A and B are shown apart, each in its own frame.
Chain A
Amino acid sequence: MTQLPTSTEKKLGLVIDLDTCVGCHACVISCKGWNTTAYGAPLSDMDAYGGDPSGTFLNRVHTFEAKQEGCASQTVHFPKSCLHCEDAPCVPVCPTGASYKREEDGIVLVNEDKCMGCGLCSWACPYGARELDQMAGVMKKCTLCVDRIYNENLPEEDRVPSCVRTCPAGARHFGDFADPDSNVSKLVAERGGMDLMPEQGTKPVNKYLPPRPKADVNGTKAPALEAQSEEITGFLGWLDRTLEKI
């Protein structure tokens, strides 16, 4: 049934550090790579080598610019994937029972054997986290790499979502938000982790850490370098003096 659980034992999700993300899109590619060969239908590309290429992605990196009057602007790379909301609007709208939120860990998943590809769940999601695969005709979304995180055939360090494992900047963290002592809960407490579009009432599990204030955002310029001494000594000094005489 597509009724949301009243509470989940764990709240697995991601913390995304907007201060650290360098916008390299490695998480986008590793996500596409892992999820094309693993859970459910592959993530197809349409017209991949033609004039109008498009494809299914579960994670996309936007780049925003924030600017205050009279200050230098701040560039923020912004990875966006399913937030595994506690009050996920995509689940109850599903007519077939394909969409569900797991009671044990809060992961929102699609059972592709029941999905009829009506697209209504993607309409209900304010974040654009669901994409209808144009080849398979079923809804694709982030699974939090459910086939990695519990997979005992993988070395322990690989039992995290593919995007987290691959991020070269350490901007992505995976953990249990229900545990106040977990790495992700601590990060959120320390850095003021925030919800996206809180006014939509979705109670996202994933949190975003705001960029730290930059040193020059108040419009002050870096101090000029001190003028170099006129006295040049050594070989260069000799050369300088000699050349002057010629």
Chain B
Amino acid sequence: MHPAPSVIVFSTISGLGFGLMLFMGLGLPNVSGWVAASFATVALGLAVIGLLASTFHLANPKNAIYAFSQWKTSWLSREGILAVLTLFVFFIYAVLWAFMDNRIPALGYLASAMAMGTVFTTSMIYTQIKAVPRWNTAVTPLLFLLYASAGGALLSNQMQVALVLLGLIIAFQALAWVQGDTALARSGSSIESATGLGKFGKVRLLEKPHSGENYLLHEMVYVVGRKHAAKLRVLALLLAAVLPAVLILLTEVNHVIVVVILLSHLIGIFAQRWLFFAQAEHVVGLYYDAR
């Protein structure tokens, strides 16, 4: 699948924002007044910047308002609605906390749950797509939730919790990659099933429908840069999880170290998200004898 920068930025940045909301909803970090307001601004800012970035990949944004209408069937619609509601609930909660000195725990729990709900709906947009076998697994939403909450733990300075979450990321990301590499083969879809010509022997594409490129190839059969995938995987895990974990374990975490940890984590997730798209094989590629 085509790794559109707007979608990578959206899912990474808004994931961090909603992750921070998860912890702030639980009353963490234990601050008040302007410090609480600053943390809340970071959370809301990240979520909003991410959501705005996501609108940049719309080819016809003037109809975007209709995206709030199809919550009965569409995960993308559910995500849009839940994201806006979460921002609203969290905003009220944060204002009461920071400026009225009246943190309402029940409202906080609600904001936490809604923030994780939003990340879950984002992940389901990809998970639901059967035509991309690599995404069509329970590990996809699990990883989205882990990345978001680990980022939230780092941003809210909950380093012990972060350590556990980073460990889980290493384990489940490795599982997702190992599982994902055989997902297309296990899905039962092949050039033979795609054409129905399996009973006549081994099938290959003799001639493409057009000599040039098309939307389908550009969007769904993205193969550019896959040759560096193995290196990028190592780099993604090192930066997103291993280096932050090592720094938490071996150093006295001060402000400088926190910045290093956050930057490393962020760049790591960018790499992971790029791979999430670039390595995802869509079954339409079978009609082009490509993966």
Residues of A within 8 A of B (CB): 1-3, 18, 28, 52-57, 60-69, 71, 73-76, 78, 80, 89, 91-98, 113-120, 122-128, 131-132, 134, 136-138, 194-201, 208, 210-211, 217
Summarize B's interface: helix, strand, loop or mixed: mixed
Contact yes or no, A54 B129, CB < 8 A: no
B residues near A71, Cβ cutoff 8 Å: 201
Q: How far is the CA of A24 from the CA of B258 in the complex (A)?
A: 64
Residue numbers in B under 8 Å from A61 (CB-CB): 209
| Bound-state Cα–Cα, A41 to B207, Å | 29
- Residue on A with the closest CB to B54? A118
In contact, B59 and A78 (Cβ under 8 angstroms): no
Distance of A17 Cα from B215 Cα, bound (Å): 26
Can you list the 8 inter-chain pairs with the closest CB atoms, starting with the nearest? A117-B59, A137-B59, A68-B201, A66-B200, A96-B66, A60-B209, A117-B60, A92-B73
**Contact across chains for A208 and B63 when beta carbons are under 8 A apart:** no
Question: A196 near B195 (CB under 8 angstroms)?
Answer: yes
Q: In the complex where A53-B212, A200-B130 touch, is A113 in contact with B201 (Cβ < 8 A)?
A: no
A199 near B61 (CB under 8 angstroms)?
no
Chain A to chain B contacts (Cβ below 8 Å), 9 pairs: A2-B72, A62-B208, A66-B200, A95-B80, A98-B63, A122-B219, A134-B59, A194-B196, A200-B131
Is chain A's interface secondary structure helix, strand, loop, or mixed overall?
A: loop
A131, B61: Cα distance in complex, Å: 17
B200 near A74 with CB under 8 A, answer yes
Residue B32 CB within 8 A of the other chain: no
B159 close to chain A: CB less than 8 A: no
B194-A196 in contact (CB<8A): yes
- Set of chain B residues within 8 Å of A138, measured between Cβ atoms: 59-60
Once the chains bind, are B131 and A65 in contact (CB under 8 Å)?
no
Task: Mark B204-237 against chain A: 1 for CB-CB distance below 8 A, else 0.
Answer: 1111111011111001100000000000000000
**Is B64 positioned at the interface, with any CB of A under 8 Å from its CB?**
yes
Question: Which residues from chain A contact B284 at a C-beta distance below 8 Å?
Answer: 125-128
Total contacts A-B at CB 8 Å: 207
Option from B59, B201, B205 in Cβ contact (under 8 Å) with A73: B201
Bound together, the chains give a CA A94 to CA B188 distance in angstroms of 26
* In contact, B188 and A116 (Cβ under 8 angstroms): no
State the interface size on chain B (CB cutoff 8 A).
59
In B263-291, the 8 Å CB interface with A consists of 282-284, 287-288
Out of A62, A118, A119, name the residue touching B287 (CB < 8 Å). Answer: A62
B76, B214, B215: which has the most chain A beta carbons within 10 Å? B215
Q: How far is the CB of A200 from chain B (nearest CB, A)?
A: 6
Residues 142 to 192 of chain B near chain A (Cβ within 8 Å): 187-189, 191
B199 interface neighbour in A97, A126, A210, Cβ under 8 Å: A210
Q: Is the CB of B205 within 8 A of A93?
A: no
Q: Are B60 and A137 in contact (CB under 8 A)?
A: yes
Q: Which residues on the A side are within 8 Å of B102 (C-beta)?
A: none
Q: Which residue of B lies closest to A118 (CB)?
A: B58
Contact indicator B76/A95 (Cβ below 8 Å): yes
Known: A131-B215, A138-B59. A89 touches B67 (CB 8 A): no
Which of A132, A196, A201 touches B219 (beta carbons < 8 Å)?
A: A132
Task: Encode contact with A along B39-68: 1 for CB under 8 Å, 0 otherwise.
Answer: 000000000000000000111111110110
The minimal Cβ–Cβ distance linking A71 to chain B, given in whole angstroms, is: 7
Bound form: Cα–Cα A234–B200 in Å = 51
A-contact 0/1 string along B74-114, CB 8 Å cutoff:
11110010000000000000000000000000000000000
User: Does A64 lie within 8 Å of B206, measured CB to CB?
Assistant: yes
Which B residues are CB-close (under 8 A) to A57?
Answer: 209-210, 214
Q: Which of B62, B76, B203 contacts A120 (CB 8 A)?
A: B76
Contact A116 B60 (CB under 8 A): yes
Smallest CB–CB gap between B281 and chain A, Å? 12
Of all chain A residues, the one with the shortest Cβ separation from B196 is A194
Chain B residue at minimal CB-CB distance from A92: B73
Q: Which residue of A lies closest to B2 (CB)?
A: A119
Q: How far is the CA of A55 from the CA of B189 in the complex (A)?
A: 27
Q: How far is the CA of A127 from the CA of B80 in the complex (A)?
A: 27
Interchain nearest-CB distance for B220 vs A (Å): 7
B38 within 8 A of A: no
Query: How long is the Cα–Cα vector from A93 to B19 in the complex, in angstroms?
Result: 25
Is B243 at the interface (CB under 8 A from chain A)? no
Residues on A with C-beta less than 8 A from B59 are 116-119, 132, 134, 137-138
> Which of the residues B63, B196, B206, B288 comes within 8 Å of A116, measured between beta carbons?
B63
A159 to B70, CA, bound (A): 34
B195 / chain A contacts, CB cutoff of 8 Å: 64, 76, 78, 196
